[in-house]
A and B are shown apart, each in its own frame.
Chain A
Amino acid sequence: MSAITHDHDHEHDHKPSGIKRWLYTTNHKDIGTMYLVFALLMFFIGGSMAMVIRLELFQPGMQFVEPQFFNQMTTVHGLIMVFGAVMPAFTGLANWMIPMMIGAPDMALPRMNNWSFWILPFAFLILLLSLFMPGGGPDFGWTFYAPLSTTYSNDSTALFVFSVHIMGISSIMGAINVIVTIWNMRAPGMTWMKMPLFVWTWFITAFLLIMVMPVLAGAVTMVLTDKYFGTSFFDAAGGGDPVLFQHIFWFFGHPEVYIMILPAFGIVSAIIPTFARKPLFGYASMVYATASIAILSFLVWAHHMFTTGMPVFATLFFMYCTMLIAVPTGVKVFNWVATMWRGAMTFEVPMMFALAFIVLFTIGGFSGLMLAITPADFQYHDTYFVVAHFHYVLVTGAVFSIIAAAYYWLPKWTGHMYDERLGQLHFWCSLISVNLLFFPMHFVGLAGMPRRIPDYALQFADFNAFISVGGFLFGLSQLIFVWVLVKCARGGEKATAQVWEGAEGLEWQVPSPAPYHTFETPPEVK
């Protein structure tokens, strides 16, 4: 700890040492760190499953794994990346940054905060261990459509349901904490329309979370009772309907994809002004755009279900609503570009990832628009085109924003500058390999290669070998990231309080590394 914070520590730090510090901590910075480390671990576990998938798909024919195991890999890869990597990483960033950004001493509900983190490792332990059960783990896709997850699923389904319940409870507790913190604990003068956009986007995300995570809990509960207790929510023989499952799932599922991107919008809106050395263009319109995206996200779920045989007027309704979302999204992209216009830009690693985010996320948005065209979706649905779409918005979107955030705030967390050259190497390796990995998926998808299959027609062989190589390179590139993180945690050039020349906001007024307790007396916000 630096000299400035030294006497501060003496007054307040009665933190136990060793493992107990982490088990019992109610400090938002400790909990934030644990969330982030956990997310990184899950990113690598989920990533190694992706490597298994790409290894099997490297060549046509069955090489390395059984089809059923392949399905378990796609399923658990999806679940881990969504619920174990992206969402906890955002929660970790929220824990670290929101109190500092609004001038609060900690999160509003510190004990609950401890719980919401510590139940998470158990959820994923259960999920991962279920892979070793006789009969294997969940193999019905991360979307667990009935009847795949009911009539045709294996015995591990109960464990799957249990672990999803725990993940849901954890995110709901985290979301409640974020809302209460932002609502009640802003420093004097920190009015709603002065809040940094990362705080705004998280505030809205938290509302999405408490609205849709309970619906997911309902869906898994119905799967559980259908499978084990003789109900027939999704069983036509008993008067239920399997299509109903898809409605309930996507009522959760589409807002869920925005849960994974709204905080990313907040991060990019923090980074771009810093490195363009200009205030964010159109702050108010950013807030309104975020809110309208959140509201619209409840009205588009059936764009995942165009091929289920909906009547024409329903497909039209969902098609137009989906396209409408592109408008507020476009507003955001426009504002970021306008912020950079005539800015004095520099291109440190956080800025590079943020710039890549803007370009590549927009590509994902465009393929989303193509998928939203109902008749076109009849061709694209369940092909690799969909896989390309959601990996552009989730990997080069959500994950890139998380990496950008890590580089951006790392000096504030550790007190050291990261190694800029290694960081740039990480960026360029990631940028090139991620496009080798996901861009050709558009083409094999348009040519008709179905998703979630362990084998494919010979005509797709070259493209798939290419994609797999991209995948392995992307996986390897992330090891550079770990190297940067470890190096930065252990030492490096001392960071100043402001860290970045153009950075503005309360978090840059506290020393680096941020002391264990910040803003115990609220700052004055002008």
Chain B
Amino acid sequence: MQLHRTLVTKLLLVTALMFGFGFALVPLYDVFCEVTGINGKTSNVPATALVDGVDTSREITIEFLARPNKDMPWIFKPEIRRLTVHPGEVHVMNYFAENPTAQMIVGQAVPSVSPGQAALYLHKIECFCFTQQQLAAGRNMLMPVQFYVDPALPAQFSTITLNYTLYDVTANWQGNAATENLGE
């Protein structure tokens, strides 16, 4: 019986560890995607280090897309559709958002870059997607994103698409939306 008990204990330990591993996959997945830049995930942390050299030898086309999620009533679109930049140059682009409903709504934008591998090279210094955004009934606002393309971007990429999906997160709003855009 003692013989069985030690083995059973070990096997139960494996079971428990694997249960934990299932949950550990959640942060592992995020870290993995962030480090490798696959999945088109961009960093949630503002990029600080400004690069010195602007690479004027080549031009990169940045395409901007915006998509309100199916349950999100806001009007949401980029100010311009595309922009041609040199790697290293810092640019600011505005997204327009309007809340046409009669209630205050909080939104959260989630960025996604295509092709996925280029996500590592698109750095955002400032972005409305870093925080939740709040709009009172009938109000609108311009939401900026300040970014640059890393000069280390591999030569195979000449066009990068930056897409934002906007979600209605009013239901679990913590009351900490950074830009309290109540429209004054």
Interfacial residues, chain A to chain B (CB-CB below 8 A):
108-109, 172, 176, 179-180, 183-184, 210-219, 222, 230, 233, 236-239, 241, 243-244, 247-248, 251, 309-311, 314
B22 contacts A248, CB within 8 Å? yes
Q: Ordered nearest first, which 5 A-B pairs have the shortest CB separation?
A: A218-B22, A237-B167, A214-B19, A214-B18, A215-B22
Write out the residue numbers on chain A whose beta carbons fall within 8 Å of the beta carbon of B14: 210-211
Assess A311 versus B117: contact at CB under 8 Å? Given A214-B16, A236-B110, A238-B169.
Answer: yes
Give the distance to chain A from B8, nearest Cβ to Cβ, in Å.
6
Write out the residue numbers on chain A whose beta carbons fall within 8 Å of the beta carbon of B25: 215, 218, 244, 247-248, 251
Q: How far is the CA of A176 from the CA of B4 in the complex (A)?
A: 10
What would 15 A/B residue contacts be, using CB atoms closer than 8 Å? A211-B14, A212-B18, A213-B15, A214-B19, A215-B19, A215-B25, A216-B22, A233-B26, A237-B110, A238-B172, A241-B30, A244-B25, A309-B40, A311-B38, A311-B116
B69 contacts A179, CB within 8 Å? no
Q: Which of B12, B30, B116, B169 is within 8 Å of A309, CB to CB?
A: B116
Give the distance to chain B from A28, nearest Cβ to Cβ, in Å.
15
Q: How far is the CA of A238 from the CA of B38 in the complex (A)?
A: 20
Write out the residue numbers on chain A whose beta carbons fall within 8 Å of the beta carbon of B40: 309
Give the distance to chain B from A227, nearest Cβ to Cβ, in Å.
14
Q: Which of A108, A176, A183, A218 is within 8 Å of B23, CB to CB?
A: A218
Assess A310 versus B38: contact at CB under 8 Å? Given A176-B8, A184-B4.
Answer: yes
Which residue in chain B gives the minimum CB-CB distance to A176? Answer: B11
User: How many CB-defined contacts (below 8 Å) exist between A and B?
Assistant: 86
Q: How far is the CA of A13 from the CA of B167 in the complex (A)?
A: 67
Q: Which of B7, B8, B167, B172 is within 8 Å of A230, CB to CB?
A: B172
Report B1-17 CB contacts with A as 1/0, cut-off 8 Å: 00110011001101110
Report B145-184 CB contacts with A as 1/0, cut-off 8 Å: 0000000000000000000010111001000000000000
Write out the residue numbers on chain B whose beta carbons fall within 8 Å of the beta carbon of A210: 11, 14-15, 18
B39 within 8 A of A: yes
Write out the residue numbers on chain A whose beta carbons fall within 8 Å of the beta carbon of B134: none
Give the distance to chain B from A304, nearest Cβ to Cβ, in Å.
16
B108 within 8 A of A: yes
Write out the residue numbers on chain B whose beta carbons fall within 8 Å of the beta carbon of A310: 38-39
Which residue in chain B gives the minimum CB-CB distance to A237? Answer: B167
Q: How far is the CA of A411 from the CA of B15 in the complex (A)?
A: 37
Q: How far is the CA of A248 from the CA of B18 in the complex (A)?
A: 12
Which residue in chain B gives the minimum CB-CB distance to A215? Answer: B22
Q: Which of A108, A211, A243 is within 8 Å of B4, CB to CB?
A: A108
Write out the residue numbers on chain A whose beta carbons fall within 8 Å of the beta carbon of B168: 237
Q: Which of B19, B165, B168 has the most chain A CB atoms inside 10 A of its CB?
A: B19
Q: Which of B4, B15, B23 is within 8 Å of A172, CB to CB?
A: B15
B167 contacts A236, CB within 8 Å? yes
B7 contacts A180, CB within 8 Å? yes
Which residue in chain A gives the minimum CB-CB distance to B24? Answer: A218
Which residue in chain A gives the minimum CB-CB distance to B172? Answer: A230
Q: How far is the CA of A215 from the CA of B28 in the complex (A)?
A: 14
Size class of the B contact interface (CB-based, 8 Å): 20 to 34
Report B99-130 CB contacts with A as 1/0, cut-off 8 Å: 00000000010100000110000000000000
A217 contacts B110, CB within 8 Å? no
Give the distance to chain B from A412, nearest Cβ to Cβ, in Å.
27
Write out the residue numbers on chain B whose beta carbons fall within 8 Å of the beta carbon of A239: 110
Q: How far is the CA of A37 from the CA of B14 in the complex (A)?
A: 31
Q: Which of A184, A217, A237, A311 is within 8 Å of B22, CB to CB?
A: A217
Q: Which of A217, A218, A314 has the most chain B CB atoms inside 10 A of its CB?
A: A218
Assess A218 versus B19: contact at CB under 8 Å? Given A180-B7, A237-B108, A237-B168.
Answer: yes
A219 contacts B7, CB within 8 Å? no
Which residue in chain B gives the minimum CB-CB distance to A232? Answer: B172
Q: How far is the CA of A109 from the CA of B25 in the complex (A)?
A: 32
Q: Which of A109, A212, A215, A237 is within 8 Å of B69, CB to CB?
A: A237
Query: Could you list 12 further interchain pairs (A-B, Cβ under 8 angstroms) beyond the known A210-B11, A211-B18, A237-B110?
Result: A176-B8, A183-B7, A214-B15, A215-B21, A217-B19, A218-B21, A218-B22, A218-B23, A237-B69, A237-B108, A238-B172, A248-B25
Assess A236 versus B117: contact at CB under 8 Å? Given A210-B15, A230-B172, A247-B29.
Answer: no
Write out the residue numbers on chain A whose beta carbons fall within 8 Å of the beta carbon of B110: 236-237, 239
Q: How far is the CA of A184 from the CA of B11 in the complex (A)?
A: 14
Assess A243 versus B18: contact at CB under 8 Å? Given A108-B4, A109-B8, A218-B23.
Answer: no
Write out the residue numbers on chain B whose beta carbons fall within 8 Å of the beta carbon of A233: 26
Which residue in chain B gives the minimum CB-CB distance to A230? Answer: B172
B18 contacts A244, CB within 8 Å? no
Q: How far is the CA of A37 from the CA of B7 in the complex (A)?
A: 30
Write out the residue numbers on chain A whose beta carbons fall within 8 Å of the beta carbon of B11: 176, 179-180, 210
Q: How far is the CA of A212 from the CA of B29 in the complex (A)?
A: 18
B22 contacts A214, CB within 8 Å? yes
Give the distance to chain B from A394, nearest Cβ to Cβ, in Å.
24
Write out the residue numbers on chain B whose beta carbons fall within 8 Å of the beta carbon of A238: 108, 169, 172
Q: How far is the CA of A243 from the CA of B25 in the complex (A)?
A: 12
B21 contacts A109, CB within 8 Å? no
Give the distance to chain A from B81, nearest Cβ to Cβ, in Å.
22
Assess A241 versus B29: contact at CB under 8 Å? Given A236-B167, A311-B116.
Answer: yes
Give the distance to chain B from A362, nearest Cβ to Cβ, in Å.
32
Q: How far is the CA of A240 from the CA of B8 in the complex (A)?
A: 36
Which residue in chain A gives the minimum CB-CB distance to B169? Answer: A237
Give the distance to chain B from A454, nearest Cβ to Cβ, in Å.
23
Q: How far is the CA of A505 from the CA of B144 in the complex (A)?
A: 76
A176 contacts B22, CB within 8 Å? no
Q: Which of A184, A214, A215 is within 8 Å of B3, CB to CB?
A: A184
Q: How far is the CA of A183 from the CA of B8 in the complex (A)?
A: 11
Q: How far is the CA of A17 from the CA of B22 in the complex (A)?
A: 44
Write out the residue numbers on chain A whose beta carbons fall within 8 Å of the beta carbon of B30: 241
Q: How far is the CA of A251 from the CA of B21 in the complex (A)?
A: 11
Write out the residue numbers on chain B whose beta carbons fall within 8 Å of the beta carbon of A237: 69, 108, 110, 167-169
Write out the residue numbers on chain A whose beta carbons fall within 8 Å of the beta carbon of B8: 109, 176, 180
Write out the residue numbers on chain A whose beta carbons fall within 8 Å of the beta carbon of B12: 176
Q: Which of A179, A214, A218, A222 is within 8 Å of B7, CB to CB?
A: A179
Write out the residue numbers on chain A whose beta carbons fall within 8 Å of the beta carbon of B22: 214-219, 248, 251
Q: How far is the CA of A168 from the CA of B25 in the complex (A)?
A: 19
